[in-house]
Amino acid sequence: MVGPTKDDPFPDFSPMERHKLASYENGVWSSSSSIDIITQIDRWNKHRHTHQSPSDRTIPSTQTADFSKLYTMLSKNDINIAVEFWVRKIFASKPGGEWGIELKLNPETLRYNTSWVLLGNAPGPLTPADSTNPRNNGKTIVLTADEFLEELRFYLHHTYMWFNGKIVHQRDGIPMGTEFSVFLAQWVLSYYEYIFVNELVFHKLWDLLLQFQHVNRYIDDVFAIDCPDLHKYAYSSTVHILDDGNVLQGIYPPSLTLNKEHSIVNKTTGLATESIPMLDMHISYNWATDKLESRMFDKRQSPKLSLTPITKYSLADAMMSEHISINIMYSQCFRALSVCHHWQPFASACGSVLYELYMAGHSFHKLHARMCRFFRKHLPLYPGAPNIHVHNLVKDVFEHHRAHGSPLLDQRNLWCGFAQRVTPLSRVSWPTNPHVT
């Protein structure tokens, strides 16, 4: 048997096994947004065997889970190991020499823009902490892989907070409220998953790989389609003996707790009657089409958050330009179009956003015009549903909220500030022939 090399880490794989390996190459399940999960759902729907009759169809075991106390339970040693692994891997993938990350201060946003730069093109020695070095002039900093990791270690071991009148040093975990902590958690969990997937590849466990190919994780929220063994292999403390006598460990350390949350299958009836929330979506199974479908989900609809003072959109008299406020309508239409598989939930979401922005004091005419502009740029919005039908349903939803109120706003009028709004509500006038096509 030929040993593994850098160019061929699996030399004993057959052509068929190499073909399978190529299909799982991007199977690590970290997601950056709900769009990745929508893509996963569409991919699953596309490859679903739809030739079966309804009586022969099996319900997909779609489920969600989440990690509790993720940030406080992450080991700093594991964070160091995981981040160094990814940093070395990413830096080493850049061709043509040694690279660094250039951070250049944007004077308008006061944030650093990042880009790759060959260190041979970077001025000065590799000492960014030196104030006289042109590589660290207060506006531009260039970091090597070692320097980046040094900054990380400083961050991990110098976290302080004010608690009960005292300055407290956080020894375990990472602070939950900082922007960098989200990336650290993502990198560490991705490292555990990467090791597990590579073990499955090494042992040629193709059936398990097929299961875990349909798993997505957004930070601490996990979404899985047809992966009944997710919780069986959840923890590395669980050891599984394979048929060939080798050992396979689970994914995450036992210090992390992966909690089962929701399942499409009703526990009482065994039927796919449940609609499960995941991020800003509700996901359900359509028995007639044998497909998973999604629609918009507002977390304010959750009973746990029904009375939480959540302000979603700014008032018209707030310190925000009208252009930005009106463009919220356009961006929310785009978001709904990305999430909703059918035009009725899309129209309902647009009608609710239109009503909420209107109640915040924004011009109905300008909001409606911006929505119609979005409709015209996306022709057709949904195949088989003319844009005018979508517009008419938006109108019906909006007028229903005007007549009967919105459950998302009625309990929050005082908290959201609508009662203190200075700008009066604008006149509502629906055009006879809206320009949506």
User: pLDDT tens digit string along 388-423?
Assistant: 999 999 999 999 988 887 766 654 443 444 545 556
Are 413 and 390 a contacting pair, CB within 8 Å? no
Helices 343-359 and 387-404, packing angle to 10 deg:
50
pLDDT in tens, 178-226: 778 888 999 999 999 989 988 888 888 888 888 888 899 999 999 999 8
Among candidate residues 256, 276, 292, the one where a domain is terminated? 292
Q: Does residue 312 sit in the same domain as residue 285? A: no
How far, in Å, CA of 232 to CA of 210, rounded?
15
pTM of the model: 0.81
Q: Does residue 264 sit in the same domain as residue 195? A: yes
Q: Does residue 187 sit in the same domain as residue 151? A: no
Residue 294: its pLDDT value, please?
94
Q: Which of 337, 252, 286 is nearest to 38 (CA)?
A: 337
Q: Does residue 284 sit in the same domain as residue 311? A: no
Residue 407: its pLDDT value, please?
65
State both tokens at 24: 């799982």
CA angle 295, 301, 306 (to 5 degrees): 170
Using the structure block, give the residue that is written with the tokens 């300055």.
167
Q: Does residue 234 sit in the same domain as residue 159? A: no
Q: Is residue 258 part of a domain?
A: yes
* Eight-class DSSP state of 150: H
State both tokens at 420: 């203190």
Q: Is residue 4 part of a domain?
A: no
Using the structure block, give the residue that is written with the tokens 């949350």.
261
Q: Does residue 138 sit in the same domain as residue 83? A: yes
Q: Does residue 148 sit in the same domain as residue 189? A: no
Backbone phi, psi, residue 224, to 5°: -135, 135
Q: Does residue 302 sit in the same domain as residue 416? A: yes
Residue 118: its pLDDT value, please?
83
Sequence-ordered list of residues with C-beta below 8 angstroms from that of 178, at least 6 positions apart, any chain: none
CA angle 281, 283, 288 (to 5 degrees): 145
Among candidate residues 292, 311, 339, the one where a domain is terminated? 292
Regions of the chain short of the pLDDT cut 50? 1-6, 8, 26, 123-132, 411-417, 419
Q: Is residue 5 part of a domain?
A: no
Q: Is residue 434 part of a domain?
A: no
Sign of the Cα torsion 301, 305, 307, 312 reads negative
Burial class (CB in 10 A: 0-12, 13-18, 19+), 126: middle
pLDDT in tens, 364-389: 999 999 999 999 998 889 998 999 99
Residue 283: its pLDDT value, please?
93
Please state the domain count of the chain. Answer: 3
Are 317 and 423 a contacting pair, CB within 8 Å? yes
Q: Does residue 86 sit in the same domain as residue 188? A: no
Among candidate residues 244, 269, 292, the one where a domain is terminated? 292
Q: Does residue 83 sit in the same domain as residue 159? A: yes
Q: Does residue 160 sit in the same domain as residue 27? A: no
Q: Is residue 437 part of a domain?
A: no
Q: Does residue 218 sit in the same domain as residue 320? A: no
- Provide the β-strand partners of residue 113: 104
Residue 129: its pLDDT value, please?
44
How far, in Å, CA of 48 to CA of 58, rounded?
11
Q: Is the peptide bond before 380 cis (omega within 30 degrees of 0)?
A: yes
* Containing structural domain, residue 288: 15-70+182-292
Residue 119: its pLDDT value, please?
78
Residue 413: its pLDDT value, please?
47
